[in-house]
Amino acid sequence: MSKKSYFGPHLMLDLSECDQESISDLDFIFNFLNTLPDKIGMTKITQPYVFPYTGKIPEDKGITGFVVIAESHLSIHTFVDKCYAFVDLFSCKPFDTDMARDLIVGAFASRKPEVYMVERGTGFPRDIYGAQVTA
């Protein structure tokens, strides 16, 4: 097994042309955040925190949600009138980013997803005591 050269993957999705019903449904967003961690092998340590948002720009209304996982976090911000959602999944534990991407894009039926994956913490000192650490 080779040594991991970074701290963890950060999967970011900019989802346009989403299903407007899904991205405007508070219960749907809660259930998405509540079930996705288990589907991708993560450990949820809090219940999702989900709330509607209406700000100074009326067409930016939507839903914001967040769940803390032992490995880091999963967040979503939707813009209902624009049929758009931003989803971030960061983890210190490796996970199947392709499967996670497919689950996320499918959940919101985005017809134009933009997907970014960054290997975060390339300089992170995994083991400051000299023991062999493998991923």
- The Cα 52–Cα 49 span in angstroms is 11
Q: Identify whether 43 is part of a domain.
A: yes
Q: Identify whether 2 is part of a domain.
A: no
Is residue 15 within 8 A of residue 32, CB to CB? The reply is: no
Model pLDDT, residue 2: 46
Q: Could you list the residue range(s) of the whole structural domain that residue 54 is in?
A: 8-120
| DSSP tag of 41 | T
Q: Which residues of the chain have pLDDT under 50?
A: 1-2
- The Cα 11–Cα 118 span in angstroms is 7
Q: Identify whether 1 is part of a domain.
A: no
Model pLDDT, residue 111: 97
- The Cα 83–Cα 16 span in angstroms is 6
Model pLDDT, residue 29: 98
Model pLDDT, residue 118: 80
Model pLDDT, residue 128: 61
Q: Identify whether 74 is part of a domain.
A: yes
| Selection from 53, 59, 98 nearest residue 77 by Cα | 53
Q: Identify whether 109 is part of a domain.
A: yes
Q: Identify whether 14 is part of a domain.
A: yes
| DSSP tag of 44 | B
| DSSP three-state, residue 19 | coil
| Selection from 62, 77, 64 nearest residue 13 by Cα | 77
Over residues 28-41, the pLDDT tens digits come to 999 999 999 999 99
Question: Is residue 83 annotated as part of the catalytic site, yes or no?
Answer: no
Q: Identify whether 82 is part of a domain.
A: yes
Model pLDDT, residue 134: 53
CATH number for the domain spanning 44: value is: 3.60.90.10
Model pLDDT, residue 126: 65
| DSSP three-state, residue 106 | helix
Query: Count of domains in the chain?
Result: 1
Q: Which listed residue (22, 72, 91, 110) is catalytic?
A: 72
Answer yes or no: pTM beyond 0.75.
yes
Q: Identify whether 59 is part of a domain.
A: yes
Model pLDDT, residue 1: 35
